[in-house]
Structure 1
């Protein structure tokens, strides 16, 4: 290099850390809802997640997206999706460390919290592969509506083994699941689906129709919605049938998406495709909602993971970059921005792991409403948070090599997947209206922090007034969903976070002392203390 190209004031690589045990907020949440043993069981995964090797897997999987191969060299239809080897390393690691279906077979009192903590830490490496991991986790409770199908497939779905390829599911040590609900004409309105199912003499069904979004088409089996005379019904559709032959599963194309590049999303054509009914005829939506509720949990976990990854990058950069004679992290306004990002991350993490604890505790009423509200708010906040973290790096953050553009493209996904903002906000109203025990359970959780902070108490009163006013509720659905999530986060932080974090959260998110952008914490906020808490401890 020429003498003019001396490299100085550049930030070193972010490697050699543990985003699970080294994250004080995540580690505390794990101990709070599980124990030290659960955290210790994730130590190998955490060290790998912060390693140079895992980060290279994430980069390669993102830069080498999957490819569709519809036919083999002889002209036979095969409908296979090919992935870069790095993708398989990510998948293998996730499944072997129990982040897919394993918690349903674990039997431990905190299996789902352990899995959620691991998921939040590991997916910071690369979020795309989280989709099939999530659906494999989420399919189990829905499949249990049919004892025979559960007996056949659940052992593979809950196994800690990953083997790629379309072969007889009975011969595979582990299985991956997907889902096919959306059609061109309906989107979230699945009752408008036109795919038809016809009962066959052997008790199976033949499905005919087109699915506009089918996630992870290389999976071993899928839950699919189709119409019967009784209405929308749910079916299990395997890629390979019990006799070893391939099911009709024509992958028309892979979607060219904004983000989530490493994951394959597809359009699929069914033409007499074999499936088996799951649940009652005409009750497909309530059946598949069992799966959707679990995938929504992972939407919150995934968004919290993305926010945490962006925060880690921002603090690391500010710790090592100098400007105007001082480190960025020592400059007051930058401290304000980083502290605000850290507060957002802590609130998202605390709520996400609380939802996982509800799965362990069988708190279905709480999870139904709190999960929907959290999905709305945490996922909706993520793009703004990641954009602010990217700006901490300035022009360096706008360059692909920094990794922030990948996080930024990924950030809107979970706000769209499993119901975009309006759908989820209206579902919050539906959960409150149909299940009064859901609202009671969430209010009971919020009330655990009553009296701890006047601004929190005022926010709870505002929430009560919103809920007590029946006029124009659909128009106010987003307002209600957001305030509900904020009150839940406030309750958790007031009870479990340091006072500096809880006070700043209440002053800004609940008390109104907050600007239109992040980095407007009021004077007197101990920003350095909050930033220090948000810093990942190196190995």
Structure 2
């Protein structure tokens, strides 16, 4: 007797959104497209569009695989030999390969022309939306080139780091056409206070150094080389430590364990001990912080880009769900209060994206324009603080738009929620950013003037903005205890100025809600007279 298949059917599946994958992350994002055009990077649009297709489908699917099977540390092989290997799922390597080949880690350097840094930033933004963990080694590799390229003896390392080639083999750098680079800065006793580092760098007769000590956070431990900070005879010094020595032997360091992290599961972070590891000096002895400062500006920019990307993906997920889900006889997005929430998220996301790409444009022009170089310094600190600080609460609000489905891994929102706090912590926490910016504005009148002129350039476009700028701009020193409030005000003013000058249809709503107190403490508290439908149509086609 055959059982009727219908006997096992208890219900029909309906009122569920279709799968998200298959979206075009470039053409769907008006704020990104317009920002790239404003920054003079339109010649890169074809490759950005191609990566947008890839990120919204192939990379998106690989991201779930890379986070499902976390990295595993193998300290020894079956015969008891020390190997210090981190094993990754194949999806991780595919993501790095696609990122490297398309220029996420090197476009700025291997195709140096106006707009290249902006295009690389846009590629990073697209990649991060699909999978954030692999952004860590891609970001560090990109930023390290800024340091290594200044030292002719390390030019081969810089060239291979910038090359659009990914080679995961654990072999000497000489045997590779493309490499990745990691970082080892912080130690147990110091954290952000790297001047408290105790790792010792002993000079050798051949010009190299021997490292003895530890690192509490050692990022992407399967990279081909690492920039580390250690105490040389003249003080804190930056050094390049290869994973494999030129003769193929393992360098003298041991991976002690992998960090069991809140998120960032696809990527490995480790603790390491140096037992006489060979390294080569980068820059002058005793000038370690000054040597890596250009790299830090690059990594802080990518923190801002990453936070903006997480917000963008969370918004897209929420809008996608709300347009296909019906409640009480209407589409979820058509309920007035939900429309307010979604429009508020769209406003915040566009402001974050516009600011991040604006700062990327300043970085791009820094070598040609001293004024833009000052804005790059100021803008990375402001954006790193504020955009990263907004990401976690933003993603949580987007989760709520999906209801219980937003708490389930298949929705991607839990992964974004775990990831969102990281960019606020990495490369200097919020307090570090605010205090750094405060010192810069107080000690360097040119930097303060550059920021003021940037804000003044938007005056005359919105009377409410003009009033807010007059109220919030301070020429007098600000006490450190008030640094966060001051930086928040400056960041909001800068976001508003960018939107106003860009002619964004969101600019007036941003000024009213963020600068004129026409907004509550939660998302979904925009003024009722705004055109939510038009805002949502712009946010995601």
- Give the alignment's TM-score, normalised by structure 1: 0.96
Seen in structure 2, the aligned counterparts of structure 1 residues 455 and 205 have a Cα distance that, compared at 3 Å, is: same
Report the Cα offset of residue 355 of structure 1: 1.2
Q: State the aligned residue count.
A: 530
Q: How far does residue 326 in structure 1 lie from its aligned partner after superposition?
A: 0.3
Once residues 177 and 364 of structure 1 are traced to their aligned partners in structure 2, the CA distance between those partners, rounded to angstroms, is: 25
Which residue of structure 1 aligns with residue 74 of structure 2? 69
| CA-CA distance at 1:282 after TM superposition | 0.8
Asked if 2 retains the 8 angstrom alpha-carbon contact of 1:366 and 1:439, the reply is no
What's the counterpart of residue 344 of structure 1? Answer: 348
- Taking the aligned partners of 1:347 and 1:245, their CA distance within structure 2 comes to 49
Alignment partner, residue 3 of structure 2: none
Match in the other structure for 2:114: 109
Measured after TM superposition, the shift of residue 46 of structure 1 is 1.1
Counterpart in the other structure of 2:98: 93
Counterpart selection for 2:467 from 452, 458, 463: 458
Matches within 5 A, 1:156-305: 156-305=160-309
Looking at structure 2, the residues matched to 497 and 534 of structure 1 have their Cα atoms a distance apart, in angstroms, of: 15
Matched, 1:512 2:512: no
CA contact (8 A) 1:102 1:157 kept: no
TM-superposed CA distance for 1:462, in Å, is 2.9
Please report how far the alpha carbon of residue 520 of structure 1 lies from its aligned counterpart in structure 2 after TM superposition: 0.3
- Show the counterpart of 2:483: 477
Equivalent residue for 1:379?
388
CA distance in 1, matches of 2:284, 2:156: 19
- For structure 1, which segment, 19-28 or 250-259, has the greater mean C-alpha deviation from structure 2 after superposition? 19-28
Q: Tell me the alpha carbon deviations over residues 295-316 of structure 1, each in whole angstroms, 9 at most, x when there is no partner.
A: 0000000000000000000100
| SS of the residue 1:124 aligns to | helix
Report the equivalent of 1:405: 414
Gaps of 5+ in 2: 1-5, 367-371
C-alpha contact (below 8 Å) 2:518/2:526 kept by paired residues: yes
Q: Deviations over 1:454-485 (max 9, x none)?
A: 221122123323xx3325x2101111111111
Q: Is the 8 A contact 2:243 2:250 kept in 1?
A: yes
**CA deviation map 1:205-240 (0-9, x unaligned):** 001101000110100111100012322111111101
Does the 8 Å contact 2:202/2:233 carry over to 1?
A: no
Deviation of the 1:10 alpha carbon: 0.8
Q: State how far apart, in whole Å, the 2-side matches of 1:95 and 1:496 are.
A: 31
Measured after TM superposition, the shift of residue 431 of structure 1 is: 2.1
Superposition pairs for residues 297-336 of structure 1, below 5 Å? 297-336=301-340
Rounded to whole Å, the distance in 1 between the matches of 2:496 and 2:199 is 44
Does 2:451 correspond to 1:442? Answer: yes
Alignment deviations for residues 508-528 of structure 1 (CA, whole Å, 9 cap, x no partner):
111111111000001211111
- CA displacement 1:416-449 (0-9 Å, x = unmatched): 0001111111111122234322222222221110
CA distance, structure 2, for counterparts of residue 330 and residue 510 of structure 1:
27
Work out which of the residue numbers 118, 123, 126 in structure 2 matches 1:118.
123
Shift in Å at residue 111 of structure 1? 0.7
* Structure 1 unaligned blocks of 5 or more: none
**Contact 1:388–1:518 (CA under 8 A) maintained in structure 2:** yes
Q: Distance in 2 between matches of 1:430 and 1:62?
A: 39
- Report Cα offsets for 1:384-421 as digits up to 9, x if no partner: 11000000000111111111100001010000000111
Deviation for aligned residue 1:168: 1.2
Please give the alpha-carbon distance, in whole angstroms, between the structure 2 residues aligned to 1:370 and 1:79.
Answer: 39
Equivalent of residue 144 in structure 2, options 139, 153, 171: 139
Which of 497, 504, 507 matches 1:502?
507
Q: Does 1:430 align with 2:435?
A: no
CA–CA distance in structure 1, aligned partners of residues 9 and 483 of structure 2: 61
Q: Which deviations, in whole Å up to 9, do the C-alpha atoms of 1:489-532 show, x marking residues without a partner?
A: 00011111433x11110011111111110000012111111111
Are 1:28 and 2:34 counterparts? yes
Asked if 2 retains the 8 angstrom alpha-carbon contact of 1:195 and 1:226, the reply is: yes
Aligned to 2:88: 83
Q: Secondary structure, in 3 states, of the residue corresponding to 1:213?
A: strand
Q: Helix, strand or coil: the match of 2:281?
A: strand
Q: RMSD over aligned Cα, in angstroms?
A: 1.3
1:35 shift after superposition: 4.1
**Which whole-Å CA distance do the structure 1 matches of 2:463 and 2:27 have between them?**
33
In structure 1, which of residues 367, 392, 396 is the aligned counterpart of residue 405 of structure 2? 396
Moved more, 326-335 or 296-305: 326-335
Query: Which of 36, 43, 47 in structure 2 is aligned with 1:41?
Result: 47
8 Å CA contact retained: 2:41, 2:119:
no
CA offsets 1:124-174 (integer angstroms, 9 cap, x no match): 11101000000000001112342211x221110110000102211011110
- SS of 1:492's partner is helix
Superposition TM-score, scaled by structure 2 size = 0.96
- Counterpart secondary structure, 1:154: helix
Farther off after superposition, 99-108 or 277-286: 99-108
1:214 alignment partner, SS class: strand
